[in-house]
C-alpha cells in the first residue's frame, strides 16, 4: 500500500470513527454515474458534429453532421430543462429556473395535499387496518406482562386525578340524582332477581343465611338477660302483676331457651328452617321476575333507602375510606391497584385473542374512530408535510429531490440526445432524397 493509499485509508477510518459516513453516498454515486453517461453522450454528439464538418462533403458526412447537430441541440435542451428544475444553469439567474428551490413552499403544500388526499384515503386506511389486525396486536400487547405492567402503572397513577374529578361538585350532584333513579328504577327488581338467582345457583344464599343465624345467636347470647326481662315484662302486661310474678321469669327463661335450641338445630346440611328459607328465596325471585307490583314495591323501598340521610352519610363515609385506600395503594409500585389493573388488561388480551365477537367489535370501533378522525388527520398531515418541505433550505431540498429522481432525469437527457440524433437523421434523409427526386 502506497503513502497516498495509506493516507486515504487512515482518513476513511477516521471518518467512520467520527460517524461522518454519508447515508446517501450510494445515491450520490449512482447519480454521478448516470450523469457522466448522459454528459458523455452529449460530448459524443459534439465530437460527431465537428467530425461532420471536418470530413469531405458527401451524403454520409452531411447526414452525420445534421444528425449530430440535432442530437447535440436535443441533449443541450434537455440538460437545460433538467438543470433548471434544481438550480440556475451555469449559475446564470435566468428567469423560471431553479424552480424547485424557488417554489418549495408551494411544492410542499401540493405534496402534502396529494399525500393526505390520495394516500391516506378512507378506503386505503380501512384496508390497512384490516390487514393490520388491530385486535390481535392489542391482545398480544395486553397479554404480555412486560408491556402491560407499565400501562397498568400509568393507569394507577391517574386514579387519584380520576377520583378527584368524580368528587367534583357537579359529579357528586349528578351521582346523587342518578343513584336513587337507578336503585329505584323499573329494572331494579330484575337486577335484584338476577343477583338472588346467582346466589341460589352457587348455593351462596345458604352461606348468607348461616351468617345471619350466627349473628343472631351472638346477639341472643349477649342480650339474653335483657331479652328475659322484656319477655317477663310482656307477660306481666298481658296477665297481670300476680301472673307475672308467679310465672313470668319461668316463661321468659323457656322462651329464650327454646329460641337457642331452635337456632342450634339449624345445621349446615339442612333443616326445616333452611328449607323454608330456600323456598322463600325461590318464591321471591319468581315474584320479582313475574309480578310488576312486587318489583315496583321493591324499587320504592330501594329508592327511599338510597335517599335516606343516614344511608347517604354512611355511603359518603365508606366512599372516603375507599378513596383514601385506593389513592394510597395506587402510589405503591407493588400495590394491589397495579396488580388488579394488570390482571384486567391481561384478561382483556386473552378475550381479544380468543373471542371472535370481541375482535369484531374492536375492529369495528377502530375503523369508526379512524373514519371520524381521518378528515382532521388529513389536514394535519398536509400541513405537516407542507411545513417540513417549506422549512428546508434551498440546498437541502435540491439535494434530496435530485438524489431521488436525478437518475431518471439523466435518462431524459440521454433520450433527448438520441432522439434528436435520430430525428436529425430522418429529416436529412427526407429533405435530401426528396429534393433529389423533385429535381
Query: pLDDT by residue (tens digit) across 229-251?
Result: 666 666 556 555 544 444 446 56
**Predicted pLDDT of residue 388:** 82
Pairwise CA distance, residues 411 & 430, whole Å: 28
Render 242-297 in DSSP notation, one character per residue. HHIIIIIHHHHHHHHHHHHHHHHH--SS--HHHHHHHHHHHHHHHHHHH-HHHHHH
Give whichever of 215-219, 350-354, 369-373 has the largest mean pLDDT.
Answer: 369-373
Mean pLDDT of 405-418: 90
pLDDT in tens, 284-305: 777 767 777 777 776 776 666 6
Between CA 99 and CA 232 the distance in angstroms is: 112
Q: Are residues 246 and 316 in the same domain?
A: yes
Instruction: Note whether 89 and 197 are same-domain residues.
Output: no
Residue 107 belongs to some domain of the structure: no
Q: How many CB atoms lie within 10 A of CB 156?
A: 23
256 neighbors 227 (Cβ within 8 angstroms)? yes
The pLDDT, as a whole number, for residue 365 is 82
Say whether both 337 and 239 belong to one domain: yes
> What is the structure's pLDDT at 335?
78
Tell me which residue range forms the domain holding 40: 22-102+393-438
CA dist 9 and 21 (Å) reads: 14
Over range 163-192, report the average pLDDT.
62
More confident of the two residues 69 and 264: 69
pLDDT at 2: 41
Cβ atoms < 10 Å from Cβ of 154 = 11
Residue that is last in its domain, among 354, 382, 414: 354
Evaluate whether residue 217 is within a structural domain.
yes
What's the Rg (C-alpha) of the chain?
Answer: 46
pLDDT over 90 (residue 184): no
Residue 291 φ/ψ region, left for φ over 0, alpha for ψ in the -120 to 50 degree band, beta for the rest: beta
Closest CA to 74 of 423, 374, 433: 423
Q: What integer pLDDT is reported at residue 220 of this predicted model?
A: 65
The answer to whether position 414 is within a domain reads yes
Supply the pLDDT for residue 16. Answer: 41
> Are the C-beta atoms of residues 303 and 184 closer than 8 Å to each other?
yes
- pLDDT at site 261: 63
Lowest mean pLDDT among 39-48, 130-139, 252-261, 306-315: 252-261
What pLDDT, on a 0 to 100 scale, did the predictor assign at position 239?
A: 53
Assess contact for 310 and 303: CB atoms under 8 A.
Answer: no
**Minimum mean pLDDT among 33-37, 369-373, 419-423: which range?**
369-373
Cβ contacts of residue 76 below 8 Å, gap of 6+?
A: 42
- Inform me whether the pLDDT recorded for 397 exceeds 80: no
Q: pLDDT tens digit string along 5-50?
A: 333 333 443 444 444 577 888 888 999 999 999 999 999 999 999 9
Closest among 313, 350, 340, 325 to 140, alpha carbons compared? 350
120 assigned to some structural domain: no
Distances (CA, A) of 59 to 50, 115, 435: 16, 55, 13
CA pair distance 39, 85, nearest whole angstrom: 17
CA distance 255 to 247: 12
The answer to whether 432 touches 59, Cβ cutoff 8 Å, is: yes
Among 192-201, 265-274, 290-299, 373-382, the least confident range:
265-274
- Residue 317, H or E segment: helix 309-330
CA 98, 101, 107, 108: dihedral to nearest 10 degrees? 170
Q: Is residue 369 part of a domain?
A: no
More confident position, 27 or 188: 27
For the chain, what percent of residues have pLDDT higher than 70?
63
Rounded average pLDDT over 357-372: 80
Q: What is the pLDDT of residue 72?
A: 94
- Same domain, residue pair 330 and 421: no
Same domain as 235, residue 167: yes
Number of compact structural domains in the chain: 2
Task: Using the 3D structure, point to which of 326, 354, 382 is the last residue of a domain.
Answer: 354
- Regarding whether 199 and 65 lie in a shared domain, the answer is no
Same domain, 321 and 430: no
Residue 299 lies in a domain: yes
- Are 426 and 317 contained in the same domain? no
On whether residue 122 sits in a domain, the answer given is: no
Query: In Å, what is the CA distance from 345 to each residue of 148, 285, 328, 340, 341?
Result: 7, 35, 21, 9, 6
Rounded CA separation 182/184 (Å): 5
Q: Of the residues 354, 380, 409, which one is the last residue of a structural domain?
A: 354
| Better pLDDT: 297 or 190 | 297
For residues 177 and 179, give the distance between their C-alpha atoms in angstroms, rounded to a whole number.
Answer: 6
CB 75 within 8 A of CB 42: yes
Closest CA to 41 of 85, 71, 77: 71
Q: What is the DSSP string of 96-143?
A: T-SHHHHTHHHHHHHHHHHHHHHTS-HHHHHHHHHHHTHHHHHHHHHH
pLDDT of 77 higher than 90: yes
Report which DSSP code applies to 439. -
Cα separation, 215 vs 209, in Å, equals 10
Same domain, 282 and 170: yes
Same-domain status, 221 and 337: yes
Same domain, 35 and 92: yes
Cα separation, 204 vs 198, whole angstroms: 8
The pLDDT value given to residue 227: 64
Residue 439: predicted pLDDT: 55
- Please tell me whether residues 67 and 189 are part of one structural domain: no
Q: Is the pLDDT score of 217 beyond 60?
A: yes
pLDDT at 15: 41
For the ranges 92-101, 102-111, 413-422, the maximum mean pLDDT occurs at 413-422
Average confidence (pLDDT) over 207-221: 64
DSSP 245: I
Lowest average pLDDT, out of 76-80, 90-94, 165-169, goes to 165-169
- Give phi and psi for 143, each to the nearest 5: -80, -15
Q: Is residue 274 included in any domain, yes or no? A: yes
Report the range out of 6-20, 25-39, 150-164, 336-350 with the highest average pLDDT.
25-39
Q: Using pLDDT thresholds of 50, 70 and 90, give the confidence band for residue 206.
A: low
Q: Which of 238, 258, 257 is nearest to 248 (CA)?
A: 238
Amino acid at each position: 500500500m502506497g503513502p497516498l493509499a495509506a493516507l486515504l485509508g487512515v482518513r476513511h477510518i477516521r471518518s467512520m470513527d467520527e460517524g461522518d459516513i454519508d447515508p446517501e453516498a450510494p445515491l450520490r454515486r449512482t447519480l454521478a454515474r448516470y450523469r457522466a453517461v448522459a454528459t458523455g453522450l452529449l460530448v459524443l454528439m459534439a465530437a460527431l458534429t465537428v467530425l461532420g464538418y471536418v470530413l469531405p462533403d458527401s451524403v454520409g458526412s452531411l447526414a452525420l453532421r445534421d444528425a449530430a447537430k440535432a442530437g447535440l441541440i436535443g441533449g443541450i435542451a434537455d440538460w437545460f430543462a433538467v438543470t433548471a428544475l434544481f438550480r440556475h444553469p451555469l449559475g446564470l439567474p435566468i428567469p423560471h429556473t431553479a424552480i424547485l428551490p424557488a417554489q418549495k413552499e408551494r411544492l410542499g403544500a401540493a405534496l402534502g395535499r396529494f399525500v393526505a388526499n390520495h394516500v391516506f384515503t378512507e378506503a386505503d386506511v380501512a384496508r390497512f387496518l384490516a390487514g393490520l389486525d388491530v385486535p390481535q396486536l392489542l391482545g398480544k400487547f395486553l397479554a404480555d406482562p412486560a408491556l402491560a405492567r407499565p400501562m397498568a402503572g400509568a393507569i394507577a397513577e391517574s386514579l387519584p386525578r380520576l377520583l378527584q374529578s368524580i368528587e367534583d361538585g357537579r359529579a357528586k350532584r349528578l351521582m346523587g340524582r342518578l343513584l336513587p333513579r337507578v336503585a329505584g328504577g323499573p329494572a331494579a327488581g330484575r337486577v335484584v332477581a338476577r343477583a338472588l338467582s346467582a346466589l341460589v345457583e352457587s348455593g351462596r344464599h345458604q352461606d348468607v343465611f348461616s351468617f345471619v343465624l350466627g349473628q343472631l345467636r351472638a346477639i341472643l347470647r349477649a342480650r339474653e338477660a335483657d331479652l328475659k326481662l322484656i319477655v317477663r315484662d310482656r307477660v306481666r302486661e298481658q296477665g297481670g302483676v300476680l301472673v307475672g310474678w308467679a310465672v313470668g321469669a319461668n316463661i321468659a327463661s323457656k322462651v329464650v331457651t327454646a329460641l337457642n335450641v331452635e337456632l342450634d338445630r339449624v345445621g349446615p346440611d339442612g333443616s326445616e328452617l333452611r328449607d323454608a328459607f330456600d323456598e322463600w328465596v325461590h318464591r321471591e325471585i319468581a315474584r320479582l321476575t313475574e309480578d310488576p307490583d312486587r318489583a315496583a314495591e321493591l324499587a320504592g323501598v330501594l329508592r327511599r333507602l338510597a335517599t335516606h340521610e343516614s344511608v347517604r352519610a354512611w355511603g359518603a363515609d365508606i366512599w372516603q375510606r375507599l378513596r383514601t385506600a385506593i389513592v394510597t395503594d395506587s402510589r405503591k409500585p407493588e400495590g394491589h391497584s397495579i396488580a388488579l389493573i394488570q390482571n384486567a388488561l391481561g384478561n382483556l388480551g386473552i378475550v381479544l385473542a380468543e373471542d371472535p365477537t370481541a375482535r369484531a367489535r374492536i375492529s369495528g370501533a377502530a375503523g369508526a374512530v379512524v373514519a371520524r378522525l381521518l378528515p382532521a388527520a388529513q389536514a394535519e398531515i398536509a400541513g405537516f408535510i407542507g411545513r417540513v418541505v417549506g422549512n428546508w433550505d434551498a440546498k437541502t431540498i435540491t439535494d434530496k429531490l435530485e438524489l431521488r429522481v436525478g437518475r431518471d432525469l439523466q435518462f431524459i437527457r440521454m433520450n433527448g440526445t438520441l432522439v434528436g440524433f435520430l430525428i436529425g437523421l430522418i429529416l436529412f434523409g427526407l429533405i435530401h432524397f426528396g429534393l433529389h427526386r423533385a429535381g
